[in-house]
Chains A and B, each alone.
Chain A
Amino acid sequence: MQAFEYAGPSTIEEAVKSLTGSKSGVALSGGTDLISRMKDYVTSPDRVVYLKGVKPLAGITETKGGLSIGAGTRLVDVIANKDIAKEFPALQQATLEVGTPQIRNMATVGGNLLQRPRCWYYRSGLGLLGMKDGKSLVRTGDNRYHSIFMTDGDALFTSPSSLATPLIALGATATLVGEKGERTIPVEALYQVPKTSDDRELTILPGEILTKVTIPEPKGKNASYEARQKQAHDWPLVLCSVSLDMNGNEVNNGRVIIYGVAPIPWRSEAAEAAIKGKAITMETAAAAADAAVKAAKPLSANGYKVGLTKTVVKRALLAAAGNRYWEEA
């Protein structure tokens, strides 16, 4: 990796100052993503600002009916939190299998939300969009792990955060602090679709620090379901988180967010519409799953993801409704 300046602030203010005072400074927390990117020269910052000494960034606190999770909270602490397990199983379920125990002991909520795409073109140093001579290497190459939505554009990678998926489903907000003060935005607004290789997929501004996410009071039911090739240390192929505001047995309003299918956490309004006013049954869940992938445009090698996404959406909905039919056998 390239040589860099190192700062170890103890307050948010100092951290912001350290970051803004550099050209390409980055925040370091668990380091499970950043350090490997630096070793591979994918990211070569001139300054690294270590946030684990900023104590107010870590911890889970109750807010009005909801929860506030500091960006520096480790994944292992999210998993162990009883309130999250009880009220926000979608979040716990999506966090449980991230990486390995060693990674979950180091990695933080903020780092998970702001990690860079795992796209193997990006990680091979071919740029965020994987372009060569103005053409997409991804589109004609091995895109088995890439997007099936928004594939008309050049951003074909998939958004990598397992935690963003349930947090968006649960209507969480993210709080960012920068030179000009604090701003709070919906978690989905952390992400954007880059149009060119110079764009970023994250909206966080240079010098800004993500300080916390806040989940509002739980409504109804929520759950996550993911499919992954390996049981140990793997990325979900597809992950779906749902949050269902119930009116008796019927869904008043539902949120369906899918990971692994688009360059942003993918909100499936089609699936949401399909379950509105309905009870979650095998039939309605399957219909919502069909609706979820209707507009999918897979790439050359990831057609299998369409069927897989259907399954994952269906199972996330049924899991929220307490039906885990796939575990029967």
Chain B
Amino acid sequence: MPSWPEKPRLIGKSIPRIDGLAKASGKIKYPSDMRPEGTLFGVMLYSPHPHAKVTSIDTAAAEKMPGVKGVVVIAKAGATLRYHGDDIAGVAAETEEQARDAVRAIKVDYEILPHVVTEEDAVKPDAPKIVPSGNARKGRAQTTGDPEAAFKEADAVVEAEYSAPVITHVCLEPHGLTARWDRDDAITAWASTQAVGATAGELAGRFSIPVTNVTVLTEVMGGGFGSKFGADVWGLTAAELSKKAGGRPVKMFLDRIQEHLAGGNRPSAAGKVKIAGKKDGTVTAVVATTSGTGGARGGSNFPFPYVYAIKNVSREHTEIFVNGGGARAMRAPGHPQGCLIMEAAMDDLADKLGIDPLEMRLKNLNDGDKVVDANGKPTISRAGIYREQVPIGAKLIGWENRKPRGQNGKGPIKRGYGMALHQWGGGGTAVNKVTCTISPDGSVELKTATQDIGTGARTILAIIAAEILGLEVKDVISNIGNSTFPPGQGSGGSTTSPSMAPPAFNAVSKARDEFLARVGKAINEEPADLTLQDGKLDVKGKAVMSWKDACRKLGMMGVSVTEGFAEGLASGGVAGCQFADVTVDIETGVVKLNKIVAVQDSGLILDMLTWRSQVYGGVIGGLNYGLFEERVMDPGSGLMLNPDMELYKLAGLSDIPEIVVHAHDTPEMRARGVIGVGEPPTISTAAAIGNAVTNAVGVRVNKFPMSPMNVLNALNAASNKEGKA
């Protein structure tokens, strides 16, 4: 069984990403920067109504407008539009301005249908049914043990409600692609996608052409977070418009408004939770009725209870349908929601029991929860990982400075600390291939149809090859982001590295073996005596020639090996914890983050620099969820009120605190092989912030985000209650 080098030269070091300078300097072209010769500009017409039927659509005027090269209707007469932003038609024109004017010249008659856009309105008895079966689909309650009996025997019971709103992905680069018909059965598309392969498949399927004739290119891209796995309606429309325009490329990228409306979102989550425990900190029961909305499509369920072992549990989830843009996977789907509800309840129970919530968390870990080792055997206790991580995080945040809830002094400025635990899978899949080619000129190329969504995927493949061949990272050409290459992993679920590192390792190892066999033959040395290091070929440990000279010994034919997955190099299943230190001004409700600590394991870390960058990114995404983000829907008009980057709030530089990233990089973790780290570090940030704010102000702020409105409302509600009591 293959295994990673025990004393790696490059793996695990902090290595700058190989395309970093090209990205930072603007030299490299993102898909939305591409303007192949003859490019036409595409613009989508989308629904101005939250719920309507198209009774007629007339494109005649639009088609006659200056510069217009094609109009494609998606929502024909009779089609139902289910949200503000739903797709109606697309236009391609010589300039973006002409396309925008033409879109406005499409005449659409609507029959306006009644709408509901908020969870609250959707479940009212007299609410219009926007799906025939009703706006609320209640799942079956899942019960283990006897919660009611446990409540009776408990030393403390907390009943509370917690919620978080729908948020959107807000990818820096919008969704879209530029499509060009190269001939009557071939398409090239420059796509901002997390999956070049799936996007090619979708385009091929839509136009019934061989998938091998579709080339989807994603050299780099500006973020997807789970929302960019296919061609999408607008991408298919671009290809159709290109066909209409005789194959001229059509560039179709959403504008920021459409990004918010139609580009996907993380469902809302709300929970009524009853949780009980014993004086010693054992959590004995939790009952939760939860709900959420993923728009008209569903998908709001989330894991609950989360992380902890609780004997008596009952949980029932209701899916609520509204006239809103559909949910898409968003960085750790479901986990941030489950985490913030669970961890708020844990904190509230600890407060009622009068014990340190950190200790209570450690006491209720799930010792039956085993994650796999590199051989796929469930031998590693996740609880054990938490027990190592939590004290590290506590030390880094200064947990000893934390005071019990509400004991933070008399002045208006309150300091608070909070924490939360999370978990994720993140294993690899075994279906991918990597080709490693060593050419007689000394160049080394890796090829595979995965893509780098900003995580460093390109760089880690080069690191693996350089490690095995005794070269520097810059000596390796890491060729990805092309759907015609050997099949590669879609970048989702923290699966890319554990899926792609093993085939890369295998391909490069086999290529090296073949290389040494052939070079050995050429120079009359036993291949077993040959090794590669420091850019040189060694015979019995002594350098005899440079890498380039050795490659010349290959003659005319280089070495090219395509290999797949193998056990022993990757696994899945991580723990992780985060801590927040905040200051809250209780007279304004303004929350200031002082510091966030993230302690994260993810097996063998291939590049410490890009790994840390992913954790920073996860924490920043998480703090946006905790403090700022909210899709605001207007009940009256049914429109999203903040489809922008002004009133849809996101942290700016001065909102981002010191972030301390601690890699839980132990020998035991390294032995597990490669595990992805995309999702885990974004899961528990919001939960930790919510708990820190609550610790600071002395009352539970039960609605996310931790905005002045929600903080002041929680304080007011508590003081009104106190006044009445």
Q: Chain A interface (Cβ within 8 Å of chain B)?
A: 1-3, 40, 100, 118, 120-121, 123-124, 126, 132, 135, 137, 140-142, 144-145, 227-234, 237, 301-304, 307-308, 311-312, 315, 325-326, 328-329
Chain A nearest CB, measured from B259 CB (Å): 14
- Contact (Cβ within 8 A) A304 B634: no
Looking at chain A's contact residues, the main secondary structure is loop
- Contact (Cβ within 8 A) A232 B712: no
- Contact (Cβ within 8 A) B651 A227: no
Chain B nearest CB, measured from A222 CB (Å): 21
Chain B nearest CB, measured from A230 CB (Å): 5
Of B592, B633, B655, chain A has the most CB atoms within 10 Å of the CB of B655
> Which listed residue (B257, B583, B587, B708) contacts A229, Cβ 8 A?
B708
Q: How far is the CA of A152 from the CA of B708 in the complex (A)?
A: 25
Chain A nearest CB, measured from B15 CB (Å): 31
**Given contacts A237-B708, A308-B708, are A227 and B588 in contact (CB under 8 A)?**
yes
- Contact (Cβ within 8 A) A231 B641: no
**Given contacts A124-B639, A304-B713, are A230 and B634 in contact (CB under 8 A)?**
no
- B413 contacts A by Cβ under 8 Å: yes
- Contact (Cβ within 8 A) A232 B634: no
Chain A nearest CB, measured from B105 CB (Å): 12
- B5 contacts A by Cβ under 8 Å: no
In the complex formed, the residue of A with least CB distance to B639 is A124
- Contact (Cβ within 8 A) A120 B642: yes
* B534 surroundings in chain A (CB, below 8 A): none
- Contact (Cβ within 8 A) B636 A137: yes
- Contact (Cβ within 8 A) B413 A230: no
* A137 surroundings in chain B (CB, below 8 A): 634, 636-637
Interface residues of B in 596-655 (CB under 8 A from A): 627-628, 632-637, 639, 641-642, 644, 646-647, 649, 651-655
> Which listed residue (A120, A135, A229, A232) contacts B707, Cβ 8 A?
A229
* B712 surroundings in chain A (CB, below 8 A): 304, 307-308
Chain A nearest CB, measured from B661 CB (Å): 22
* B590 surroundings in chain A (CB, below 8 A): 227-229
* B635 surroundings in chain A (CB, below 8 A): 140-142
**Given contacts A132-B636, A308-B712, A326-B587, are A230 and B411 in contact (CB under 8 A)?**
no
- Contact (Cβ within 8 A) B413 A124: no
**Given contacts A120-B647, A137-B637, A311-B587, are A304 and B413 in contact (CB under 8 A)?**
no
Q: How far is the CA of A233 from the CA of B652 in the complex (A)?
A: 7
* A326 surroundings in chain B (CB, below 8 A): 412-413, 585, 587
**Given contacts A232-B652, A237-B708, A326-B585, are A307 and B716 in contact (CB under 8 A)?**
yes
Size of the B side of the interface (Cβ < 8 Å), in residues, is: 41
- B557 contacts A by Cβ under 8 Å: no
Chain A nearest CB, measured from B137 CB (Å): 26
Chain A nearest CB, measured from B584 CB (Å): 11
- Contact (Cβ within 8 A) A311 B649: no
Q: How far is the CA of A140 from the CA of B635 in the complex (A)?
A: 8
Known: A118-B647, A232-B655. 7 other contacts (CB 8 A): A3-B101, A124-B641, A137-B634, A227-B589, A229-B628, A232-B652, A308-B588
Q: How far is the CA of A137 from the CA of B583 in the complex (A)?
A: 36
> Which listed residue (A3, A142, A328) contacts B641, Cβ 8 A?
A142
* A308 surroundings in chain B (CB, below 8 A): 588-589, 708, 712
- Contact (Cβ within 8 A) B411 A234: no
Of B628, B644, B646, chain A has the most CB atoms within 10 Å of the CB of B646
**Given contacts A229-B590, A232-B653, A329-B413, are A304 and B709 in contact (CB under 8 A)?**
yes
Query: Can you list, as one digit per residue, whether each of B398-422 has a CB less than 8 Å from chain A (1) or not (0)?
Result: 0000000000010111010000000
Can you sample 10 A-B contacts with CB below 8 Å?
A118-B647, A123-B644, A137-B637, A142-B634, A230-B628, A230-B649, A230-B651, A232-B651, A304-B712, A329-B583
Q: How far is the CA of A307 from the CA of B720 in the complex (A)?
A: 13
Chain B nearest CB, measured from A277 CB (Å): 26
Interface residues of B in 669-725 (CB under 8 A from A): 707-709, 712-713, 716
- Contact (Cβ within 8 A) B589 A141: no
Q: How far is the CA of A145 from the CA of B634 in the complex (A)?
A: 13
* B654 surroundings in chain A (CB, below 8 A): 231-232
Q: How far is the CA of A329 from the CA of B634 in the complex (A)?
A: 39
Q: How far is the CA of A124 from the CA of B100 in the complex (A)?
A: 18
* B415 surroundings in chain A (CB, below 8 A): 329
- Contact (Cβ within 8 A) A231 B655: yes
In the complex formed, the residue of A with least CB distance to B712 is A304
* A2 surroundings in chain B (CB, below 8 A): 101
The 9 closest A-B pairs by CB, nearest first: A232-B652, A329-B413, A137-B636, A120-B641, A304-B712, A231-B654, A311-B587, A227-B588, A232-B654
Q: How far is the CA of A20 from the CA of B296 in the complex (A)?
A: 50
- Contact (Cβ within 8 A) B651 A328: no
In the complex formed, the residue of B with least CB distance to A315 is B587
Of B257, B411, B412, B636, chain A has the most CB atoms within 10 Å of the CB of B636
* B713 surroundings in chain A (CB, below 8 A): 303-304
Q: How far is the CA of A329 from the CA of B582 in the complex (A)?
A: 13
- Contact (Cβ within 8 A) B655 A329: no
Chain B nearest CB, measured from A27 CB (Å): 22
In the complex formed, the residue of A with least CB distance to B710 is A304
* A126 surroundings in chain B (CB, below 8 A): 637, 639
- Contact (Cβ within 8 A) B641 A121: yes
Chain B nearest CB, measured from A183 CB (Å): 34
Chain A nearest CB, measured from B401 CB (Å): 14
* B409 surroundings in chain A (CB, below 8 A): 329
In the complex formed, the residue of A with least CB distance to B118 is A142
Q: How far is the CA of A3 from the CA of B104 in the complex (A)?
A: 13
> Which listed residue (A132, A229, A328) contacts B413, Cβ 8 A?
A328
* B647 surroundings in chain A (CB, below 8 A): 118, 120, 145
In the complex formed, the residue of B with least CB distance to A142 is B632
* B707 surroundings in chain A (CB, below 8 A): 229
Q: How far is the CA of A100 from the CA of B590 in the complex (A)?
A: 19
Q: How far is the CA of A124 from the CA of B639 in the complex (A)?
A: 8
Q: How far is the CA of A144 from the CA of B630 in the complex (A)?
A: 13
Q: How far is the CA of A199 from the CA of B148 in the complex (A)?
A: 61
* A132 surroundings in chain B (CB, below 8 A): 636-637
Chain A nearest CB, measured from B132 CB (Å): 27
In the complex formed, the residue of B with least CB distance to A302 is B709
Q: How far is the CA of A137 from the CA of B644 in the complex (A)?
A: 20
- Contact (Cβ within 8 A) B655 A230: yes
- Contact (Cβ within 8 A) A100 B652: yes
Chain A nearest CB, measured from B167 CB (Å): 15
- Contact (Cβ within 8 A) A121 B634: yes
Q: How far is the CA of A320 from the CA of B588 in the complex (A)?
A: 19
Chain B nearest CB, measured from A179 CB (Å): 33
In the complex formed, the residue of B with least CB distance to A225 is B588
- Contact (Cβ within 8 A) A328 B634: no
